Structure formats: structure tokens, C-alpha cells
Structure 1
Amino acid sequence: MRTLHVGLRVNELERSLAFYTAVGYEVVGTVEGTAYGTLTMLQLPGDHFVTIELVHDPASGPAGPGVGINHLVIQVESLDATRADLAAKGIAAGPVENPGPRTCWITDPDGYRIELVQWPAGHPDGITKGDFA
């Protein structure tokens, strides 16, 4: 088993697409006319699978955090380079935290928090049991 992707309800699809493409996501495809509205599938370069599905249905009322999702996490090669790239695109990142895996936070247009993580050299991609030993 594995987690496939997370679906995020968004208020303004174009605004959210502008944000997520600036972060680095690419649109893989769109499914229109579903019972949940328009679904836009996103993945990061080098990833083989969709990891975010933007769900847009204005008839469903306002979207945003507080209904169960706390945050997303994106692994980056260089936190400093990513922060500089995002700043050039008008996306402010919070301060760098933690001496081990370096992290910082950004917030999407609907208020969803996204943690950016740079693992220390030699750390596997992702959290493992070894991180809790």
C-alpha cells in the first residue's frame, strides 16, 4: 500500500494553479464535471505520480484549512535555493527551523500550510523508523 495523493478544495482554481506551479508542481491532467467539481492533478518534476489534486467547486462554499488537513510536506534539495526562488516569485517563506532536517513553512492562497524540508546529507528520502530509534 501507499498514499496516492491528497485532494485540496480550493476557492479560486486559477489563483491556486498560479501558486502551485510557482512552487514547482506541474499540471498532469484535469477531470471536469465530477460530483465534487473540477479536479486538477499535480505532480512535482521527477515524481512518477500525482501527489496533489486541486478540487474546485464554487457551489460547495468556502474552502480552506480546519476541516481535517493540517499540512503538506515537500522535500527540497536546497532550502536556501528554494526560499530564494519562491521569494522571486512573490511567495514568502517563514524562518528556517531545526538543525537536523531543515524546515520552513509557506501558505497557499486558501490558507493550507506547506512544510518545506531539506534532509541532512545521507538521510533517506522521507521519514523512516530510523528517525524514531
Structure 2
Amino acid sequence: MDVLSMRTIFRCRDLAASRRFWEDTLGLTVAREYGAGGEVTGVVLFAGGGFVELTSSPEATGPSGSGSTVVWLQVASVPDEEARLVRAGVAIDRSAERMPWGLVECWLSDPDGVRIVLVETPPDHPLRRRVE
């Protein structure tokens, strides 16, 4: 299999609320929007080497993030991002902490209940390093 691109697609009950969260609060940048008749029904966002796609789906039931869906976003500083998100009014599910496997993680959820983990690879991590 030769994978050319990857995106995670979320069916959102409230596209506007999800866009505000993913774009304004998390700070992801729009790659493209789509729709018909002048109505935007979806947006693709840059997310590092991949993409996050939000699509309008008012009939979606239950949280999009139920089950095993988790979005993993690696950042330079988890504590800095957590502080910024708290100032923006985001509820943090689990505050930043260094995990037994050596990564720093902070957990939160988007408006549809999608679980998001912010991850930082500390400079002294034994198996991974962030290239600057």
C-alpha cells in the first residue's frame, strides 16, 4: 500500500462550534473548504504531516470520540499549550504530566467529545527526539 495522504474525519453535529474549537482554540490552519450552493459543509485542516477533516453531520448521534478514536497532536511544549487552552476556556480532562513511557501528555476533548492528547517528546526521552 502506498499511502499518499492521511486525514482523520469527524462528523460534527455543530460544524461551526467544531470549527471554532479546531481553528480558533487549537490553532489549526485551513487547507480547504468545500460545500455546495455557497454553503460550507466541510473543512480540511493542516495538522502537522496529516489532516483533520470536519464535515457537517447534524444527524450524528453520540459523541464522535466515543470508543477508540483519539487524535494525537505532537507539540513543542505541552505545558505552554495547556496554559493557552485553559486561558481560552477549554476544560482539560487530564493535566500535563510525564508518563511512565517518557512522553509528556495532556488530554482534552472537542465539542463533539473527540478525545485529544497533546504530546511532547522531552529532550531526554530515550527513544525519540525532536529535531530542531
Question: Counterpart in 1 of 2:45?
Answer: 42
2:82/2:96 contact within 8 Å kept = no
Q: CA deviation at 1:4?
A: 1.0
What is residue 85 of structure 1 aligned with on the other side? 84
Q: Which has the higher strand share?
A: 2
Return the alpha-carbon distance in structure 1 between the equivalents of residues 87 and 34 of structure 2: 31
- What are the ranges of 5 or more consecutive residues in structure 1 without an aligned counterpart? 126-133
Which residue does 2:33 correspond to in 1?
30
Structure 2 equivalent of residue 96 of structure 1: 96
1: CA distance between counterparts of 2:122 and 2:113? 28
Superposition RMSD on alpha carbons, in Å? 2.2
Query: What CA distance in whole angstroms lies between the structure 2 residues aligned with 1:17 and 1:91?
Result: 14
Determine helix, strand or coil for the equivalent of 1:30.
strand
Q: Could you tell me which runs of 5 or more consecutive residues in structure 2 were left unpaired when the two chains were aligned.
A: none
Determine if contact 2:11/2:60 at 8 Å carries over to the other structure.
no
Alignment check: 8 A CA contact 2:12 2:112 kept: yes
Distance in 1 (alpha carbons) for counterparts of 2:83 and 2:16: 23
C-alpha displacement at 1:55, in angstroms? 1.2
Q: Higher helix fraction: Structure 1 or Structure 2?
A: 1
Q: What SS does the corresponding residue of 1:42 show, helix, strand or coil? A: strand
Counterpart residue type for residue 28 of structure 1: A
Provide the TM-score with structure 1 as the length reference.
0.76
What is the number of equivalent residue pairs in this alignment?
Answer: 117
